[in-house]
Amino acid sequence: MKTFVGTILFVCIALSAHAQILWKVSGNGLQSPSYIIGTHHLAPLSIKDSIAGLPEALKATRQVYGELKISDIQSATTMQKMQQQMMIQSDTTLQSLLGAEEYELVNKFSKENLRLDLAVVPKLKPAALQNNIVVMAYVKHIGGFNPQEQLDTYFQTEALREGKKVEGLETPEFQFNLLYNSTSLTRQAQLLMCTLKNIDAEVEQLRVATEAYMKQDLDKILLISRERNNDSCDPLPEEEAAMNDKRNQAWVKKLDVIMKEAPTFVAVGALHLPGDKGLLNLLKLRGYTVEPIK
């Protein structure tokens, strides 16, 4: 499994027969049920029309929680903070992190796909570049991706339109730090080259994963997410833990309080849901009844 695909899908360990993306959470002292749905950032918004029970779940809840509060991300202040986090603060440059041939390869791809000459942004972190390369390649070769039409944004926009509370389980600052500072610059450069040298396979895996998500087949996505090359391109255990397990553990503690405040609609990356360390199982271990909506 290529590293960037793991980042997009948020890798976790599979359980069997999770072919649903909308789940009801009840019991354990909740006066009314809450709902949790898995999202996928590259899936077209049209999938909402094929998710059983979705309108009813949205109507039955009084607040929406996403990984982030979308309006926070869109503020000028937050965008400035993100741009700062994307840049190397030391004397190191992107070019110094890569060999001459590697830098030439990366810059050529960046010019062709991002319309960006890296000489203009010599301090850009490898992770920041990596987080754009595959998406742009996916859009170019597969299509169907509209950043203005995503489930996460749709749920929050609809909630605000109806006067409901909207919040995030994490802050933008937390995610910026996770994306751009959780690994060394050397490791970021290594993963960048892993992505670029395997770009066709990366795009194809994203295509297959998105297709599986549109069929609400989480089992297939999970199988894809667990593929490994058995080389340095594979995510390290601590990288997987930071991206998934630790966040799930923090979220389930927050949800324990949030869901008791009011019936809540929770929308997070689909692969945060299944697995023995996934949210669905963590909620069960805390005494909740967790059921797929069919």
| Per-residue confidence (pLDDT) for residue 187, from 0 to 100 | 97
| Per-residue confidence (pLDDT) for residue 19, from 0 to 100 | 52
> How far is the C-alpha of 106 from the C-alpha of 76, rounded, in Å?
29
Express each pLDDT in 67-85 by its tens digit. Answer: 999 999 889 999 999 999 9
The pair of structure tokens assigned to 196 is 């670029």
The pair of structure tokens assigned to 160 is 């605000």
Average pLDDT, the chain: 88
In 3-state terms the chain splits into helix, strand, coil percentages (rounded to 5) of 55, 10, 35
| Per-residue confidence (pLDDT) for residue 128, from 0 to 100 | 94
**Residue 249 pLDDT class (50, 70, 90 cuts):** very high
The pair of structure tokens assigned to 107 is 């810059």
Among 2-11, 62-71, 284-293, whose mean pLDDT is lowest? 2-11
What sign for the dihedral angle of Cα 92, 97, 100, 106? negative
Other Cβ atoms within 10 Å of 117 Cβ, number: 10
User: Taking residues 171-190, what's their average pLDDT?
Assistant: 96
Is 100 a residue whose pLDDT tops 50? Answer: yes
| Per-residue confidence (pLDDT) for residue 144, from 0 to 100 | 67
Q: Report CA-CA distances (Å) from 61 to 20, 55, 186, 196, 261.
A: 19, 10, 45, 43, 11
User: Taking residues 260-268, what's their average pLDDT?
Assistant: 98
Express each pLDDT in 141-170 by its tens digit. Answer: 766 667 778 899 999 999 999 999 999 999
Is 291 a residue whose pLDDT tops 50? Answer: yes
> How far is the C-alpha of 58 from the C-alpha of 185, rounded, in Å?
42
Q: How many domains does the chain have?
A: 1
Cα Dmax for the chain? 62
**Residue 281 pLDDT class (50, 70, 90 cuts):** very high
Is 253 a residue whose pLDDT tops 60? Answer: yes
Question: What pTM value is reported for the model?
Answer: 0.89
> How far is the C-alpha of 269 from the C-alpha of 275, rounded, in Å?
13
**Are the CB atoms for 45 and 146 separated by under 8 Å?**
yes
The pair of structure tokens assigned to 273 is 């849901």
Region label for 54, one of left (φ > 0), alpha (ψ between -120 and 50) or beta (otherwise): alpha
Domain of 266? 3-292
Residues 6+ apart with CB under 8 A from 11: 1, 225, 226, 235, 240, 243, 244, 271
User: Taking residues 190-216, what's their average pLDDT?
Assistant: 89
> How far is the C-alpha of 73 from the C-alpha of 69, rounded, in Å?
7
Is 222 a residue whose pLDDT tops 80? Answer: no
What sign for the dihedral angle of Cα 88, 189, 74, 159? negative
User: Taking residues 197-226, what's their average pLDDT?
Assistant: 84
**Are the CB atoms for 64 and 267 separated by under 8 Å?**
yes
Q: At what angle do helices 218-225 and 199-214 cross, to 10 degrees?
A: 160
The pair of structure tokens assigned to 289 is 């009844």
**Residue 195 pLDDT class (50, 70, 90 cuts):** very high
Express each pLDDT in 4-50 by its tens digit. Answer: 444 444 333 223 334 589 999 999 999 999 999 999 988 889 899 99
